[in-house]
């Protein structure tokens, strides 16, 4: 640092120009003392020069904190420039000299009353930047004055100061009532003040998610929309970002806000445009799709999004990352705009890669010819990453647009002819996927592929080639030779290739058993005896066992028909996508990760969700009913079942941020393994005497064994998950011993006062599949009670006593008795309010008494409430999003496994669990006695005591009772 200053002074001393850099000449030894003297000089000009020198030293990183008292002494001046410099110095060193910082307080207080608004504002701005707790309370009074200052320039600065102060001492700010003053400023006459107040409030609200600070209501929204037209571009962004957090009451309000926000799309500032897009994308969710305005809005969004691509490259990049989200959520917006995403020669690489990604998303039968021509052009470029991605893109087009498959294949063959090593390898990887998608259609190209066998040096390409050879072994004359050639260096291959080779040779053996016996033995022994890799060993043993016990079964398993791979890959999971849409323009939208994944201390911050159109259905207006019906249509981008399944099984380990998520690569290989395990494991596991069976079941590596390194995991596949797999993945069973069902402590149902001395307290429990009403009857009267009987009124779930009330002995005064009454659910049904209300009549020798009690709905969760994964997926998809309810469980400190275990005790079954960015998502199901299924997704983040549970059920009215059960079970 010093070097820079010295060098600078050398350069500068020769120049005659008088610039600030001359101040950098004072960094020689002993100059601190000289500066001290100058700072204390009587001459104003000299003082100012000295402060400039101090700041210059500070700038080059030299420690000039020793001069603190001398610099602070210069603070009291009417020279604005000098004052600014001193303030600058203060901001830098106050933290390291907290005691001395108090010296400055007086001047701040005084400056806040200066007749010049510039000085008042400067003082209030600077004092908030001095992050010394000790002095903050001295600043409250001046701040209070400045918040009410007559000059808007001072007020807007004071508004920001509240946020600064809140950051240092939140309690103080709340106690002093500054938050209310800040809220009042939203109604200020000056738009700049409004904008800064909004910004400050949003900032505070973001760090304190539960403060309910931004209490947005239609009145404030209206004020914000008015200010929107008048404030600076930055102010517009603050306001738009704040608006995006609001949820309109109905579609009309939503539309009227949209109408007032759309003019912002014409602003020259890209950030204003993106923030407006965010508001519109969010509020559009609430608009009925058949509304004319909805169509108009869609049309209005495309041109500004396209124009963003003429902005500076970094802004283009942010725009493209967001467009990537927008086309997934609403593909119709940009479907005709393919051309604007064509890559230009001088685009930076990060823009090129993003454009390519969007091109594939927009590819359709209508534009595929153009897209392919472009992709072919890109594939002959020189930038390796870009070229690879272009080749993969061709493969993805083939899978996405069936009509283009043939052209894609021939394009890929052309590219293979270029013999450019990485192009060839990439092409082979994608051709394998095309084979998977269109079996028995393009096998004529295998010969060409085989010619390039020697040039493959990347594991993924080798694995793909081996898969092809194994899969089509019967059509390749020298398949055995080809595979044998790979076998020579077996131990030097990566796991991915080893696994693939093992499977391929087994396939070959099953197809041509006579010639390849030796080969298969060789590979099995390599895999099982000479390998340290448990995945490989396990797979080897399974094959070995299968082949030796039942070759026919082996054939059925290994050569089973493979399910087709799905079209769209690497789509962002719908709930995450919704959340990201709410964060358009922010880092989250650039990373394609929820903020909780990369912002520390964001625990407790709610995940944003798009508003559903449910609310509109409930409003009285007649036209909204149809609106809700229309918006029932499933969202445009729901990944195929296979994708979600992959997600559920946590197979897709690729973080969603990577620029190029893996294409449906190498799924073939894993499929082989899947099938194999699916069909074959049952018998293996059943064979008790077989030590191997136990080994396998217990091996945690089985899951990973499905295929090679996670990077090559299939992004999607739609394998029917068979029983064997279910068992393997049975998380519920695997976690540990289920604990008993939760039952609440007894409460008094019938007080003695109301029942002539009989007091009944009770609770409900479910014990080994039987619902029980557990009661304590207490006789508080003076006489003996006998002849007890019980009856239920009709209730929502048909609960009825399964037998008589067993009170055999008479109940003497002051005696209590515990009674357990088993219940069934075959009684008459009538919907109650609340749903879980139960009206009971108890009779004894004295009288008949009536009371009502409420049972926890978890009593009704049956033991076979575990839904099959596949069914779960289908059902989840099938239930319209409107019927999704969400709630939070606060202060829950269980790990996701412990929670899952606890819930299982109450027959809430975890079907699958996946972890995304440190957040566990548990997919759970439960079934009520009357056959109603409830599906939930529970999000648990390590260290965050707030769980979020999303629930889907065809009978939406049970939701809130299910929530209660969750709460009760988890907290007891």
Partner 1 sequence: MSASAIFVLDLKGKVLICRNYKGDVDMSEIDHFMPLLMQHEEEGLLCPVMSHGSVHFMWIKHSNLYLVATTNKNSNASLVYAFLYKLVEVFTEYFKELEEESIQDNFVVVYELLDELMDFGFPQTTDSKILQEYITQEGAKLEVAKSKVPTTVTNAVSWRSEGIKYKKNEVFIDVIESINVLVNANGSVMSSDIVGSIKLKTMLSGMPELRLGLNDRVLFGLTGRDKGKTVMMEDVKFHQCVRLSRFESDRTISFIPPDGESELMSYRINTHVKPLIWIESVIEKFSHSRVEIMVKAKGQFKKQSVANNVEVRVPVPSDADSPKFKTSTGNAKYVPEKNLVVWTIKSFPGGKEFLMRAHFGLPSVENEEAESKPPITVKFEIPYFTVSGIQVRYMKIIEKSGYQALPWVRYITQSGDYQLRTNV
Does 548 bind partner 1 (CB under 8 A)? Our answer is no
Does 699 bind partner 1 (CB under 8 A)? Our answer is no
3-class secondary structure, 748: strand
Alpha helices, DSSP H, located in 619-666: 622-630, 641-648
878 φ/ψ sector (left φ>0, alpha ψ -120 to 50, else beta): alpha
Closest CA relative to residue 185, chosen from 218, 211, 212, 162: 162
Q: Which of 292, 492, 532, 600 binds partner 1 (CB under 8 A)?
A: 600
Spell out the residues 6+ positions from residue 747 whose beta carbon is closer than 8 angstroms to its own: 761, 762, 763
- From the number of C-beta atoms within 10 Å of its C-beta (0-12, 13-18, 19+), residue 628 rates as buried
Element (H, E) at 949: strand 947-953
Shortest reach from residue 663's CB to partner 1, in Å: 19
Q: What's the CA angle centered on 242, arms 238 and 244, to 5 degrees?
A: 120
375-414 positions binding partner 1, by CB under 8 A: 377, 380-385
Shortest reach from residue 90's CB to partner 1, in Å: 12
Does 586 bind partner 1 (CB under 8 A)? Our answer is yes
Does 588 bind partner 1 (CB under 8 A)? Our answer is yes
With CB under 8 A as the contact rule, which of the stretches 505-513, 587-595, 739-747, 904-912 interacts with partner 1?
Answer: 587-595
CA–centroid distance for 393 within its chain: 26
Shortest reach from residue 588's CB to partner 1, in Å: 5
Does 283 bind partner 1 (CB under 8 A)? Our answer is no
- Report whether 54 contacts 35 (CB < 8 A): yes
Shortest reach from residue 261's CB to partner 1, in Å: 10
794-853 positions binding partner 1, by CB under 8 A: none
Of 339 and 754, which CB lies nearer to partner 1 in the complex structure? 339
Shortest reach from residue 669's CB to partner 1, in Å: 28
Closest CA relative to residue 671, chosen from 721, 706, 697, 624: 706
Q: How many Å apart are CA 851 and CA 834, to the nearest integer? A: 15
- Report whether 397 contacts 360 (CB < 8 A): yes
Q: Which of 163, 427, 465, 838 binds partner 1 (CB under 8 A)?
A: 163
Shortest reach from residue 302's CB to partner 1, in Å: 9
Shortest reach from residue 464's CB to partner 1, in Å: 23
Q: Which of 146, 224, 274, 397 binds partner 1 (CB under 8 A)?
A: 274
Q: How many Å apart are CA 190 and CA 179, to the nearest integer? A: 19
With CB under 8 A as the contact rule, which of the stretches 18-26, 856-864, 883-891, 953-961 interacts with partner 1?
Answer: 18-26
Of 234 and 541, which CB lies nearer to partner 1 in the complex structure? 234
Of 83 and 902, which CB lies nearer to partner 1 in the complex structure? 83
- Report whether 167 contacts 193 (CB < 8 A): no
- Compute how many other C-beta atoms are within 10 angstroms of the C-beta atom of residue 515: 11
Q: How many Å apart are CA 564 and CA 22, to the nearest integer? A: 73
Of 410 and 895, which CB lies nearer to partner 1 in the complex structure? 410
Q: What's the CA angle centered on 404, arms 400 and 409, to 5 degrees?
A: 100
Q: Residue 107 has which token pair? A: 């001047």
Q: Which residue has the tokens 């412990």?
A: 898
Shortest reach from residue 244's CB to partner 1, in Å: 11
Of 507 and 609, which CB lies nearer to partner 1 in the complex structure? 609
With CB under 8 A as the contact rule, which of the stretches 55-63, 448-456, 545-553, 957-965 interacts with partner 1?
Answer: 55-63
423-442 positions binding partner 1, by CB under 8 A: none
Q: Residue 227 has which token pair? A: 């200010």
Q: How many Å apart are CA 801 and CA 824, to the nearest integer? A: 6
With CB under 8 A as the contact rule, which of the stretches 174-182, 361-369, 373-381, 908-916 interacts with partner 1?
Answer: 373-381
Does 4 bind partner 1 (CB under 8 A)? Our answer is yes
Of 348 and 513, which CB lies nearer to partner 1 in the complex structure? 348
253-272 positions binding partner 1, by CB under 8 A: 260, 262-264, 266-271
Mark residues 869-898: x for contact with partner 1 by CB under 8 A, - for none. ------------------------------
Q: Which of 69, 218, 295, 313 binds partner 1 (CB under 8 A)?
A: 313
Q: Which of 177, 218, 295, 348 binds partner 1 (CB under 8 A)?
A: 348
Does 342 bind partner 1 (CB under 8 A)? Our answer is yes
317-336 positions binding partner 1, by CB under 8 A: 317-319
Of 660 and 810, which CB lies nearer to partner 1 in the complex structure? 660
Q: Which of 40, 602, 875, 960 binds partner 1 (CB under 8 A)?
A: 602
Closest CA relative to residue 903, chosen from 963, 836, 816: 963
Of 553 and 590, which CB lies nearer to partner 1 in the complex structure? 590
115-154 positions binding partner 1, by CB under 8 A: 115-118, 125, 128-129, 131, 151-153
Does 56 bind partner 1 (CB under 8 A)? Our answer is yes
Element (H, E) at 124: helix 117-129
- From the number of C-beta atoms within 10 Å of its C-beta (0-12, 13-18, 19+), residue 931 rates as exposed
3-class secondary structure, 380: coil
Q: How far apart are the first and last CA of the chain?
A: 60
Q: Which of 307, 521, 549, 815 binds partner 1 (CB under 8 A)?
A: 307
Does 19 bind partner 1 (CB under 8 A)? Our answer is yes
With CB under 8 A as the contact rule, which of the stretches 110-118, 389-397, 812-820, 862-870 interacts with partner 1?
Answer: 110-118
702-761 positions binding partner 1, by CB under 8 A: none
Q: Which of 25, 59, 683, 883 binds partner 1 (CB under 8 A)?
A: 59
Closest CA relative to residue 66, chosen from 24, 91, 100: 100
With CB under 8 A as the contact rule, which of the stretches 1-9, 720-728, 765-773, 964-972 interacts with partner 1?
Answer: 1-9
Of 3 and 620, which CB lies nearer to partner 1 in the complex structure? 3
- Report whether 666 contacts 714 (CB < 8 A): yes
665-684 positions binding partner 1, by CB under 8 A: none
3-class secondary structure, 615: helix
Number of residues engaging partner 1 in binding (CB under 8 A): 115
DSSP string, 805-828: ----S-B-TT-EEEEEEEEES-S-
Shortest reach from residue 798's CB to partner 1, in Å: 50
- Report whether 464 contacts 504 (CB < 8 A): no
φ/ψ of 806, rounded to 5, equals -90, 80
202-221 positions binding partner 1, by CB under 8 A: 202-203, 206
- Strands 789-792 vs 747-750: parallel, antiparallel or unpaired: unpaired
Does 190 bind partner 1 (CB under 8 A)? Our answer is yes
220-239 positions binding partner 1, by CB under 8 A: 229-234, 237-238
Of 590 and 846, which CB lies nearer to partner 1 in the complex structure? 590
Does 461 bind partner 1 (CB under 8 A)? Our answer is no
- From the number of C-beta atoms within 10 Å of its C-beta (0-12, 13-18, 19+), residue 439 rates as middle
DSSP string, 157-208: HHHHHHHHHHHH-HHHHHHTTHHHHHHHHTT-SSHHHHHHHHHHHHHHHHHS
Cis link prior to 714 (omega < 30° from 0)? no
649-668 positions binding partner 1, by CB under 8 A: 659
Does 373 bind partner 1 (CB under 8 A)? Our answer is yes
With CB under 8 A as the contact rule, which of the stretches 136-144, 581-589, 725-733, 913-921 interacts with partner 1?
Answer: 581-589
Of 334 and 497, which CB lies nearer to partner 1 in the complex structure? 334
Q: How far is CA 935 from CA 245, 731, 790, 865, in A?
A: 28, 17, 35, 10
Q: Which of 63, 81, 477, 481 binds partner 1 (CB under 8 A)?
A: 81
Does 599 bind partner 1 (CB under 8 A)? Our answer is yes
């Amino acid at each position: 640092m010093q070097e820079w200053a010295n060098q600078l002074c050398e350069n500068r001393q020769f120049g005659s120009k008088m610039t600030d850099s001359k101040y950098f000449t004072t960094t020689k030894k002993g100059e601190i003392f000289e500066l001290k003297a100058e700072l204390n000089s009587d001459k104003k000009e000299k003082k100012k020069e000295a402060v400039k020198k101090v700041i210059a030293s500070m700038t080059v990183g030299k420690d000039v904190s020793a001069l603190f008292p001398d610099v602070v002494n210069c603070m009291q001046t009417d020279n604005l420039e000098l004052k600014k410099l001193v303030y600058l110095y203060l901001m830098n060193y106050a933290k390291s000299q907290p005691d001395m910082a108090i010296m400055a307080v007086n001047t701040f207080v005084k400056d806040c009353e200066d007749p010049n608004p510039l000085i008042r504002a400067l003082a209030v701005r600077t004092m908030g930047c001095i992050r010394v707790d000790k002095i903050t309370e001295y600043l409250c009074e001046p701040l209070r004055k400045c918040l009410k200052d007559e000059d808007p320039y001072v007020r807007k600065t004071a508004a920001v100061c509240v946020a600064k102060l809140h950051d240092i001492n939140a309690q103080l700010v709340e106690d002093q009532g500054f938050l209310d003053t800040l809220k009042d400023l939203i109604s200020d006459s000056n738009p700049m003040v409004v904008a800064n107040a909004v910004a400050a409030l949003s900032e505070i609200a973001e760090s304190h998610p539960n403060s309910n600070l931004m209490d947005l209501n239609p009145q404030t929204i209206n004020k914000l929309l008015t200010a929107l037209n008048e404030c600076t571009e930055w102010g517009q962004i603050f306001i738009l970002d704040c608006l995006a957090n609001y949820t309109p009451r109905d579609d009309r309000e939503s539309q009227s806000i949209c109408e007032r926000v759309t003019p912002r799309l014409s602003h020259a500032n890209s950030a204003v445009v993106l923030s407006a897009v965010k508001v519109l994308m969010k509020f559009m969710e609430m608009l009925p799709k058949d509304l004319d305005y909805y169509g108009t809005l869609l049309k209005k969004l495309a041109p500004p999004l396209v124009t963003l691509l003429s902005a500076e490259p970094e802004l283009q990049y942010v725009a493209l990352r967001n467009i990537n989200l927008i086309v997934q959520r609403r593909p119709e917006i940009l479907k005709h705009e393919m051309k604007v995403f064509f890559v230009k020669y001088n685009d930076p690489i990060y823009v090129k890669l993003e454009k390519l990604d969007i091109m594939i998303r927009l590819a359709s039968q209508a534009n595929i010819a153009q897209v392919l021509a472009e992709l072919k052009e890109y594939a002959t470029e020189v930038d390796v990453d870009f070229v690879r991605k272009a080749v993969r893109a061709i493969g993805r087009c083939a899978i996405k647009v069936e009509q283009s498959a043939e052209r894609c294949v021939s394009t890929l063959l052309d590219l293979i002819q270029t013999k450019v090593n990485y192009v060839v390898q990439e092409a082979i990887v994608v051709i394998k996927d095309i084979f998977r998608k269109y079996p028995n259609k393009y096998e004529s190209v295998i010969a060409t592929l085989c010619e390039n066998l020697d040039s493959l040096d990347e594991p993924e390409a080798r694995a793909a080639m081996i898969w092809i050879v194994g899969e089509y072994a019967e059509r390749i004359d020298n398949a055995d030779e080809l595979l044998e050639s790979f076998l020579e260096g077996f131990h030097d291959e990566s796991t991915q290739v080893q696994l693939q080779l093992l499977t391929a040779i087994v396939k070959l053996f099953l197809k041509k058993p006579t010639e390849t016996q030796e080969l298969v033995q060789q590979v099995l022994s390599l895999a099982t005896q000479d390998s340290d890799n448990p995945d490989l060993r396990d797979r080897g043993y399974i094959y070995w066992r299968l082949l030796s016990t039942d070759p026919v079964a082996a054939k059925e398993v290994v050569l089973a028909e493979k399910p087709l791979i799905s079209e769209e890959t690497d789509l962002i999971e719908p709930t995450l996508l919704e959340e990201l849409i709410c964060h358009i323009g922010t880092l989250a939208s650039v990373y394609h990760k929820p903020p909780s994944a990369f912002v520390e201390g964001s625990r407790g911050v709610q995940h944003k969700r798009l508003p559903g159109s449910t609310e509109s259905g409930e409003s009285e207006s007649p036209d909204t009913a149809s609106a809700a019906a229309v918006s029932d249509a499933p969202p445009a981008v729901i990944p195929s079942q296979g994708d979600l399944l992959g997600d559920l099984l946590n197979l897709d380990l690729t973080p969603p941020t990577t620029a190029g998520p893996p294409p449906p690569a190498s799924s073939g290989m894993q499929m082989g393994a899947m099938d194999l395990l699916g069909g074959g494991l049952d018998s293996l596991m059943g064979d008790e005497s077989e030590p191997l069976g136990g080994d396998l079941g217990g091996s945690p590596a089985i899951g990973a064994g499905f295929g090679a390194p996670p990077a090559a995991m299939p992004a999607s596949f739609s394998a029917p998950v068979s029983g064997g797999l279910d068992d393997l993945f049975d998380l519920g069973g695997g976690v540990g011993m289920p604990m008993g069902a939760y039952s609440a402590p007894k409460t008094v149902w019938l007080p003695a006062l109301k029942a002539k001395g009989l007091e009944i307290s009770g609770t409900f429990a479910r014990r080994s599949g039987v619902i029980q009403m557990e009661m304590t009857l207490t006789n508080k009267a003076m006489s003996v009670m006998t002849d007890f009987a019980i009856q239920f009124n009709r209730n929502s779930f048909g609960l009825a006593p399964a037998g008589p009330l067993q009170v055999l002995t008479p109940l003497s005064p002051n005696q209590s008795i515990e009674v357990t009454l088993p219940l069934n659910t075959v009684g008459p049904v009538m919907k109650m309010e609340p749903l879980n209300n139960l009206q009971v009549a108890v009779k004894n020798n004295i009288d008949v008494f009536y009371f009502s009690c409420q049972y926890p709905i978890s009593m009704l969760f049956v033991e076979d409430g575990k839904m099959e994964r596949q069914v779960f997926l289908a059902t989840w998809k099938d239930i319209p999003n409107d019927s999704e309810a969400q709630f939070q469980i606060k202060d829950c400190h269980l790990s996701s496994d412990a929670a899952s275990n606890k819930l299982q005790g109450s027959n809430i079954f975890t079907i699958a669990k996946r972890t995304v960015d440190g957040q566990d998502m548990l997919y759970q199901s439960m079934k009520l006695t009357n056959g109603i299924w409830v599906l939930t997704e529970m999000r648990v983040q390590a260290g965050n005591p707030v769980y979020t549970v999303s629930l889907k059920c065809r009978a939406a009215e049970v939701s809130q009772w299910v929530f209660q059960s969750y709460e009760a079970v988890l907290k007891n």
